[in-house]
Homo-oligomer: A and B are copies of this chain.
Amino acid sequence: MGMIGGGPGAFIGPVHRIAAELDREIELVAGSFSSDADRSRQAGEIYRVDPKRAYPDLPSMLSGEAARDDGIDFVTIATPNHNHLSAASMALESGIAVLSDKPATATFGEAKTLAAIIQRSGCAYGLTYTYSGYPLVREARARIAAGALGTVRKVIVEYAQGWLAGAAAGKQAEWRTNPAQAGEGGAIADIGVHAFHLAEFVTGLNVTQLLADLAAVVPDRALDDDCQLLLRFDNGARGMLLASQIMIGERNALRLRVYGDKGALSWSQESPNCLTLNHADNRTELLQTGDATLGSDAGWASRMPGGHPEGYLEAFANLYRDFARQLRGESGSLLPGIEDGLRGMALIHLAVTASQEEAGWINFEV
């Protein structure tokens, strides 16, 4: 694979590299790591990529790799949001498959453009909603699909962070709070879309209506940092979504709770190897990654026996394994695609707009 972005100072670039290579199905062999040629070369050294394949820009990479027998099969996009569309388009139009960090693009309009390009290209496209890679997230999804909770009635999803509770400091904070780089959404785009995707992914339901209450709580912040949403799902279920980056003491607290008429379940990203099932008679059952009682999706997504904690990188790596399955034409992949990307971009756009306009309940349409 080749990487776009992920150069010096990036958080997510090295994560993509480790995740991609964890299972030895994929290797990072090229990159256009920065818009600055020198920095791209430096990054290449850090990633131990052949210097000839640390390209100064994306067109060079695409042409350089196309000229090789052992050229890349796909690119992974790890740039700030505003570059996602151009990078993905260029690759796809060269016939190169794309695995992109989320959100799909910087704006909803761009996402629609991208969807058309993907379709035209016939290339594979995946989106790394990381949390869908956790074994027990997939177990939760499978259990709900199999009816373990009965009809889903209520969904509560929270994504709480505290690192933007003060004025933004550092590269990571700065681009995320800058509309020119992040797009129209702040917390809703950075983490809200993860929460939204997780809720839909696990329940198998689609949001059809929402009511959004977003705010920029920290003084002088241009984008939202605290989001409260009410949701309606297509089966009539109700829900709440919280996404906030001002909740001091919270690190990366993505937590999902789903309640049906026969049972309930909850999962928390910071303790990802435990899934809690509640039965109607009040018995609580705890399942753990690696247990023999888990289904095949969770089994596939886990590398270790029970009690040997697997974490964020392993979940991320599962998305790469999914993408590899797709590229090999195998079935079973649960990797999110452009439809999920469109829904995420619609969420950002609709939530930001509806909140500004105090629009009350609006329809969620992609």
Contacts and interface: CB of A to CB of B under 8 A. Distances in A.
Interface of A: 11, 14-15, 17-18, 21-24, 47-48, 153-154, 156, 161-163, 165-166, 211, 213, 215, 217, 226, 228, 230, 238, 240, 242, 244, 246-253, 257, 259-264, 269-273, 276, 278-288, 290-293, 303-314, 358, 360-361
Contact of A284 (B18, B261, B285): B285
A242 B240 contact: yes
A213 B226 contact: no
Nearest to A310: B311
A306 B228 contact: no
A278 B252 contact: no
Nearest to A27: B48
Contacts of A247: 154, 257, 259, 264
21 contacts: A15-B304, A154-B217, A154-B226, A162-B280, A248-B262, A248-B278, A249-B263, A249-B264, A249-B276, A249-B279, A250-B307, A251-B290, A252-B305, A252-B308, A272-B309, A281-B291, A284-B286, A284-B288, A308-B312, A310-B311, A310-B312
A288 B246 contact: no
Contacts of A272: 309
A313 B312 contact: no
- For the complex, would chain A's binding face be called helix, strand, loop or mixed by DSSP majority? loop
A331 to B, nearest CB: 21
The 5 A-B pairs with the shortest beta carbon distances in the complex, nearest first, are A249-B278, A251-B307, A252-B307, A309-B311, A251-B306
Contacts of A24: 17, 21, 47-48
Contacts of A11: 305
Contacts of A292: 281-282
Nearest to A14: B303
Contacts of A156: 242
A69 to B, nearest CB: 18
A263 B24 CA distance: 39
A348 to B, nearest CB: 19
Contact of A240 (B14, B228, B246, B290): B228
Nearest to A213: B230
Nearest to A246: B153
A230 B304 CA distance: 32
A287 to B, nearest CB: 7
Task: Please indicate which of the listed interface residues A165, A166, A292 has the most CB atoms of chain B within 10 Å of its own CB.
Answer: A165
A261 to B, nearest CB: 7
A329 to B, nearest CB: 19
Contacts of A259: 162, 165, 246-249
